[in-house]
């Protein structure tokens, strides 16, 4: 990876060619992404019943917080309007609606100061999404719902885009994950014992790249990119939307 394209005019074919080379694309907010995050905010704020979602962790027990997320995230994922917004965003970005496949939208959250970093709010170690059985052609679209900052985004580790990393993906069973592990996420409060693919060698996190888009701005990257959750010490919970489309993908 050696380039970041900002509001690139490339069509979808050219964009995918560059993404598969390890380049990153960043897009400014648009009316369709603003509409989407407003919809997501409505669901989040309703779930937290009057508490500011960004600081609600300071007013709730961790078990109660996890319980809220365990209801909010599936409701968001499977809401029919979520899929309508995704189709609008992908079409706006030049994806052919007849040839584009997308996963359901995943709402991601990252609490501050190790309040909840497992299970339903897992803080991801360095990984490639392809280790999690994502198709090699998958493209990720990452979209913040609220303001983010360098201390609560994700980090890319560009050194590893073209360098192999010994990992435990051979032990990961995606069917089992969907049938049991995903459903049990909210039960993992203090620790997370679910089997996930991880590096089996020391990972040098630097140099790393942190991109901070405004709410509704998007980062687009290949599922083969090595990335991780930045340890959140900002005092604010991060909410993102992650969607997967074009045999591609997205995140909140």
Query: What residue ranges do the domains of the chain occupy?
Result: 4-251
Q: What is the Cα 89 distance to its own chain's centre?
A: 16
> What pTM was estimated for this model as a whole?
0.90
CATH numeric code, 4-251: 2.60.120.620
Is the pLDDT score of 11 beyond 60?
Answer: yes
130, two tokens:
């392809």
Indicate the pLDDT class of residue 68, thresholds 50, 70 and 90.
very high
Looking up tokens 């360095």, which residue turns up? 126
Alpha-carbon distance of 92 to 172, in angstroms, equals: 35
129-167: pLDDT as tens digits: 999 999 999 999 999 999 999 999 999 999 999 899 999
83-119: pLDDT as tens digits: 999 999 999 999 998 889 898 888 989 999 999 888 7
Nearest CA among 112, 105, 174 for reference residue 142: 105
Please count the other Cβ atoms lying within 10 Å of the Cβ belonging to residue 247: 18
């Amino acid at each position: 990876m050696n380039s970041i394209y900002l509001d690139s005019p490339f069509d979808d074919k050219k964009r995918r060619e560059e993404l598969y080379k390890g380049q990153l694309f960043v897009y400014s907010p648009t009316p369709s992404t603003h509409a989407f995050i407003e919809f997501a905010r409505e669901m989040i704020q309703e779930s937290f019943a009057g508490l500011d979602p960004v600081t609600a962790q300071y007013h709730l027990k961790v078990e109660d917080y996890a319980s809220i997320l365990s209801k909010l995230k599936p409701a968001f994922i499977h809401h029919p309007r979520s899929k309508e917004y995704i189709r609008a965003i992908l079409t706006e970005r030049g994806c052919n609606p007849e040839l584009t496949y997308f996963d359901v939208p995943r709402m991601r959250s990252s609490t501050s100061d190790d309040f909840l970093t497992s299970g339903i709010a897992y803080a991801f170690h360095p990984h490639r999404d392809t280790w999690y059985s994502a198709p090699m052609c998958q493209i990720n679209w990452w979209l913040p719902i609220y303001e983010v900052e360098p201390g609560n985004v994700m980090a890319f580790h560009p050194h590893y885009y073209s360098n192999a990393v010994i990992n435990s993906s051979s032990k990961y069973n995606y069917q089992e994950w969907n049938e049991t592990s995903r459903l049990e996420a909210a039960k993992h409060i203090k620790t997370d014992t679910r089997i996930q693919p991880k590096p089996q060698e020391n990972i040098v996190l630097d140099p790393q790249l942190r991109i901070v888009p405004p709410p509704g701005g998007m980062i687009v990257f290949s599922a083969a990119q090595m990335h991780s959750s930045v340890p959140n010490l900002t005092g604010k919970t991060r909410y993102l939307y992650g969607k997967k489309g074009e045999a591609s993908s997205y995140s909140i």
